[in-house]
Amino acid sequence: QVHLVESGGGLVQAGGSLRLSCAGSVDAICISIVGWYRQAPGKERELVATITAGGSTKYADSVKGRFTITRDNAKNTQYLQMDGLKPEDTAVYYCNQRRTCPGEYEYDYWGRGTQVTVSS
- The overall average pLDDT reported for the chain is 95
pLDDT digits 0-9 by tens, 55-66:
999 999 999 999
Split the chain (120 residues) into runs of 10 and give each run's mean pLDDT: 87 98 92 97 96 96 98 95 98 97 95 96
> Are 77 and 28 a contacting pair, CB within 8 Å?
no
pLDDT digits (tens, 9 = 90+) for 80-89: 999 999 999 9
Cβ burial 61-75 (10 Å sphere, 16+ → b, else e):
eebeeebbbebeeee
Phi, psi of 88 (to 5 degrees): -70, -10
User: ∠ CA(111), CA(36), CA(118), 5° rounding?
Assistant: 95
